[in-house]
Structure 1
Amino acid sequence: MKALILAGGSGTRLRPLTHTASKQLVPIANKPILFYGLEAIAECGIHEVGVVVGHTALEVQAAVGDGSEFGLQVTYLSQDAPRGLAHAVLIAREFLGDDDFVMYLGDNFLVGGIAEIVEGFATREASTAAGILLARVPDPRKFGVAEVSPDGTVLRLVEKPDIPPSDLALVGVYLFDRRIHDAVSQIAPSARGELEITDAISHLISMGYGVKSSMVDGYWKDLGDPEALLDGNRIALMAIRSSIMGEVVDSKVEGLVRIEAGARIVDSIVRGPAVIGRDVSLQSSYVGPFSAIGDRCTITSSEIVNSIILSDSQVDNVGSLEGSVIGKFAMIGHRTERPRATKLVVGDHARVELL
């Protein structure tokens, strides 16, 4: 079996972070989202992985390399524009050959791995051409939605319906055999101009092939917006291992906390779960639960709670920040000179909430 991981797309819901970065490389617990998917693939015993990349290809390639760090052999497949999940299968035809494969969306965060469903697909009946993973969601209108029989057989799929037939959303993990290639070649672009994987799977069903479903047992989240990103960060932080490799001076470190090498914590409190990146300077500050501070950040006289601060940023004397996502090389400070008005330099699609 092979794997196909999708790491393209524009990440519009995560702007402005994704104006200059791949959405799949935005970190939770200081590790890029994409890496969690690569690790899940490796845990299944799969070695050959095709990574579909778009306009952020160079950044993804620099982060993932040849895949050897994950025990994988990575082949990069270029997609000129976001043309749909089925289009990703179409351009991967030569790489996939006639092998079974798992398709994994690189911005999904799934706790518990996929080894069980991969193993189940390997022992399926000959008539079964595909398998999908489902989760119950409060608002299925935002997702592809499945209607299934009591035994888990998929009867119908609808992409982002106004009136959903169920509350069962497609999780970004799919399993296919070679019959999917005929299906993606037979469908036409949807109203939004993309080749939808739901249409391709529906074509398999119309041809009389079986499509089986499995329910997500643990946590799953599409980390496509800031609120979901913070939620995923909280879950990921609860799974870290405590370790202190940096320097702690006149400070308290409580709970589940990882402090990376080169970090210096002075006259501060760090209360986990939290992670402090490499070469971070934390001075006279408080980092509270569910916070991830990226490499080389400087935090002075401030309080950070339930937040993600990406690498090389500075937060100086700003009081308390909570539920915040701050990008790379950002500078947030307290204005001391007069006039004492709030001063902002804010990019496109940013969101600022003031007291």
Structure 2
Amino acid sequence: MKALILAGGTGSRMRPITHTAAKQLVPVANKPILFYAIEALVAAGITELGVVVGDTEREIRAAVGDGSRFGARVTYIAQDRPRGLAHAVLVSRDFLADDDFVMYLGDNILVSGITDVVARFRRERPAAGILLTKVADPRQFGVVELSPDGQVVRLTEKPEHPRSDLALVGVYLFSPAVHEAVRSVPVSARGELEITDAVQWLVDHGHTVRPTVVTGYWKDTGNVADTLEVNRTILETLAPEVLGSVDSSSELVGRVRVERGASVVRSRIVGPAVIGANTVVADSYIGPSTSVADDCRITGSELEFSIVLNRSVIDGVGRIEASLIGRDARVRRAGKVPRAHRLVLGDHSNVQIAS
């Protein structure tokens, strides 16, 4: 069995972070989102991975490499632009050959893993297996209607008037039957080849499509709010450990991990939280659900429910919460009067300032 990991896409809902970084490499709990997908596949016994890449191919290649660090072998597959999930299957035909495969969206997190659903698929070998979960607003997802006896009846991509609250999770299992399906479906009104249409084609042509309702935690990290929420959830599983230095004037409370080379000075950190390698936290408070990446400097500030990426500096700015701060960012207190905010913001930035 093989796997197809989708790591293209523009990440428009994560701008401005994704102007300069692949959305699949934004870290949660200081690990790129994409790595969780790879680890889940390897844990399920799938080690031959095809990674579909687009404009951020160079960055994805640099992060993942040949896959050996994960115990896997990676083949990169180019997609000229995002044309839909079914198109990703279409361009991966040579890699997939006639093997069963898992298609895993690289910006999705499924905390419970996929080992059990893969094992069931291997035993039963339906044409396709789809994972579903109940959501509050199905209009943002592919929606699945089931019959009273639990059979798949209809799939609809982002319907305006959903007939079900069951949304597709970004993990699919396919037999080679899907190749005829993706060749047969037309381009949708959105201008894409939809995987929902391909699965519907399988249903309409009498193939078995096996639904599984996921009860564990799942999230599509397509926007900042969801990424912060995933970061909180992953941090709650964190094993506390101090590999760096914490002085006698500092206090660590709860699940706190201080990586090697990090230094905590005259500060209080309340977990779950992680402080990255070679980062300095001085005269500061780091609150729950916060990840600070490597080589950062946090001084004279308070930070909570936030993600700070590599090499950023936060100095004397009071309290920051529910924020995603990109690589090499500088957030400092203005030292002059009159009191004013001085900002340099990229496209699609979102700033909230308390007057």
Using the size of structure 1 for normalisation, the TM-score is 0.98
- SS of corresponding position for 1:292: strand
Indicate conservation of the 8 Å contact 1:152/1:214, yes or no: no
Q: Can you give the 5+ residue segments of structure 1 that lack an aligned partner in the other structure? A: none
- SS of corresponding position for 1:169: strand
> In 2, distance between residues paired with 1:308 and 1:16?
14
> In 2, distance between residues paired with 1:261 and 1:11?
32
Indicate conservation of the 8 Å contact 1:52/1:78, yes or no: yes
- SS of corresponding position for 2:191: coil
Report the count of equivalent residues. Answer: 353
- SS of corresponding position for 1:102: strand
Quote the residue 1:261 is aligned against.
260
Counting only pairs closer than 5 Å after superposition, residues 86-101 of structure 1 correspond to structure 2 as 86-101=86-101
Partner of residue 172 from structure 1, selected from 159, 170, 194: 170
Counting only pairs closer than 5 Å after superposition, residues 316-331 of structure 1 correspond to structure 2 as 316-331=315-330
**What are the Cα deviations for residues 91-146 of structure 1, in whole angstroms up to 9, with x where unaligned?**
11010011000000000011110011111111115xx3101000000000000000
> In 1, distance between residues paired with 2:329 and 2:152?
47
Instruction: Note the C-alpha offset of 1:172.
Output: 0.1
Quote the residue 1:203 is aligned against.
201
- Among all aligned residue pairs of Structure 1 and Structure 2, give the percentage whose two residues are the same amino acid: 56
**What are the Cα deviations for residues 194-248 of structure 1, in whole angstroms up to 9, with x where unaligned?**
1000011111111111111001121000001111011000001011111101111
Are 2:69 and 1:69 equivalent residues in the alignment? yes
2:141 aligned partner, one-letter code: F
Indicate conservation of the 8 Å contact 1:8/1:53, yes or no: yes
Quote the residue 1:4 is aligned against.
4
- SS of corresponding position for 2:172: strand
Instruction: Note the C-alpha offset of 1:153.
Output: 1.9
- SS of corresponding position for 1:123: helix
> In 2, distance between residues paired with 1:43 and 1:222?
20
Quote the residue 2:138 is aligned against.
140
2:13 aligned partner, one-letter code: R
> In 2, distance between residues paired with 1:335 and 1:79?
45
Indicate conservation of the 8 Å contact 1:130/1:211, yes or no: yes
Quote the residue 2:129 is aligned against.
131
Are 2:185 and 1:187 equivalent residues in the alignment? yes
> In 1, distance between residues paired with 2:330 and 2:116?
45
- SS of corresponding position for 1:61: helix
> In 1, distance between residues paired with 2:269 and 2:215?
32
Are 2:241 and 1:243 equivalent residues in the alignment? yes
> In 2, distance between residues paired with 1:91 and 1:150?
36
**What are the Cα deviations for residues 20-61 of structure 1, in whole angstroms up to 9, with x where unaligned?**
000000000000000000000000011100000000001001
Quote the residue 1:37 is aligned against.
37
> In 1, distance between residues paired with 2:76 and 2:254?
40
- SS of corresponding position for 1:350: coil
Indicate conservation of the 8 Å contact 1:314/1:329, yes or no: yes
- SS of corresponding position for 2:66: coil
Runs of 4+ in 1 over 6 A off after TM superposition: none
Instruction: Note the C-alpha offset of 1:149.
Output: 2.3
Instruction: Note the C-alpha offset of 1:148.
Output: 1.0
Indicate conservation of the 8 Å contact 1:315/1:333, yes or no: yes
Quote the residue 1:306 is aligned against.
305
> In 1, distance between residues paired with 2:215 and 2:61?
32
> In 2, distance between residues paired with 1:6 and 1:153?
27
> In 2, distance between residues paired with 1:225 and 1:100?
31
Indicate conservation of the 8 Å contact 1:152/1:212, yes or no: no
Quote the residue 1:350 is aligned against.
349
> In 2, distance between residues paired with 1:60 and 1:241?
28
Quote the residue 2:275 is aligned against.
276
Are 2:168 and 1:161 equivalent residues in the alignment? no
> In 2, distance between residues paired with 1:149 and 1:65?
44
Instruction: Note the C-alpha offset of 1:340.
Output: 2.5
Instruction: Note the C-alpha offset of 1:277.
Output: 0.3
> In 2, distance between residues paired with 1:183 and 1:152?
22
- SS of corresponding position for 2:124: coil
Are 2:293 and 1:294 equivalent residues in the alignment? yes
2:65 aligned partner, one-letter code: G
1:58 aligned partner, one-letter code: R
Counting only pairs closer than 5 Å after superposition, residues 15-54 of structure 1 correspond to structure 2 as 15-54=15-54
1:314 aligned partner, one-letter code: V
Q: Can you give the 5+ residue segments of structure 2 that lack an aligned partner in the other structure? A: none
Quote the residue 1:60 is aligned against.
60
> In 1, distance between residues paired with 2:208 and 2:350?
45
> In 2, distance between residues paired with 1:273 and 1:119?
33
